[in-house]
Homo-oligomer: A and B are copies of this chain.
Amino acid sequence: MSSPEPGHAQAGRALADPAPVFAALGDTTRLKLVSRLGDGQAHSIAQLTDGLELTRQGVTKHLRVLEQAGLVRSSRVGRESRFTYVPEPIEDARSYLDSVSEQWDDALSRLKSFIES
């Protein structure tokens, strides 16, 4: 019993510490990257750089951040590195937020029934 709080541990996975995932999502550029990778296809760095107004190196850095948070996986194919979306961490983050909302709802209904009694 020492997870970062949200009581009822929820159904699914363990989700050790969701903070790094949220931190990785806490940047507009990275959100765009995640979204673009959400199409299920593998994309090269050059591809992903296109449309974003920053250097390829900048994009690379962001991709490494996403990769370290487990949101994305990379593999070298020929002369390019292909990045693909990994769904699990976002599922985990989602269920974490679910548990927070649930906790909140429970607190509210308890409060309500207390007032009405």
Which B residues are in CB contact (< 8 Å) with A20? 26
Residue from the list B26, B36, B38, B103 in contact with A35, Cβ < 8 A: B103
**Secondary structure dominating the interface of A:** helix
Question: Which residues of B sit under 8 angstroms from A72, Cβ to Cβ?
Answer: none
B26 pairs with A5, CB closer than 8 A:
no
Measured as residues with beta carbon below 8 angstroms from the partner, the interface class of chain A is: 35 or more
Which of A's residues lie within 8 Å of B, judged by CB?
Answer: 4-6, 17-28, 30-32, 34-36, 38-41, 85, 87, 90-91, 93-94, 97-98, 100-101, 103-104, 107-108, 110-111
Q: Which 4 A-B pairs have the closest CB atoms?
A: A23-B26, A40-B107, A5-B35, A22-B25
